[in-house]
Structure 1
Amino acid sequence: MENTVVRPFEDTDLPGAATALTDVHATDGYPVEGVAHPEAWLRSDDVLASWVAESGQRIVGHVAVMRPRGEGAVSLWTERSGADEHRIGVLARLFVVRDARKRTVGERLVRTAMDYGLSHNRRLVLDVMVRDTAALRLYERLGWRRTGRTATTTTTGSTSQPSATWHPEPDRPRRNMLACRLGGRVLLGPFSS
Structure 2
Amino acid sequence: MIIRPREPSDLPALVAALREVHEADAYPVNWPDDPAAWLDPPKLLDARVAELDGEIVGQAGIGETEGLPAKVLAVVGDEPVAAVVRLFVAPSGRGHGAGRLLLDAAVAMAAGRGARAVLDVEAGGTAAIALYERAGWKRVHSGPGDWTTPSGETALLHHYVGPS
* Same structural fold, with TM-score higher than 0.5 when normalized by the shorter chain: yes
Q: Is the 8 A contact 1:77 1:83 kept in 2?
A: no
1:11-30 CA-partner distances (Å, limit 9, x unpaired)? 01010011111111111111
Within the candidate set 143, 150, 158, 1:164 is matched to: 158
**Number of aligned residue pairs:** 161
Equivalence map 1:69-108=2 (5 Å): 69-72=66-69, 75-83=70-78, 87-108=80-101
CA RMSD of aligned residues (A): 2.0
- Match of 1:83, SS state, is coil
* Structure with more relative contact order (C-alpha pairs < 8 Å, separation 6 or more): 2
Q: Which residue of 1 aligns with 2:57?
A: 60
Normalised by the length of structure 2, the TM-score is 0.88
- Match of 1:70, SS state, is coil
Q: Report the identity percentage.
A: 32
Within the candidate set 121, 126, 129, 2:114 is matched to: 121
Q: Is the 8 A contact 1:21 1:35 kept in 2?
A: no
Amino acid at match of 2:40: R
C-alpha separation in 1, matches of 2:146 and 2:64: 16
Amino acid at match of 2:137: W
How far 1:154 sits from its partner (Å)? 3.9
Moved over 3 A (4+): 79-82
Q: Bigger shift: 61-70 or 5-14? A: 61-70
Runs (5+) with no aligned partner, structure 2: none
Amino acid at match of 1:160: T
C-alpha separation in 1, matches of 2:32 and 2:56: 16
C-alpha separation in 1, matches of 2:9 and 2:21: 20
From the CA coordinates, give the structure whose radius of gyration is larger: 1
Q: Is the 8 A contact 1:8 1:52 kept in 2?
A: yes
Normalised by the length of structure 1, the TM-score is 0.76
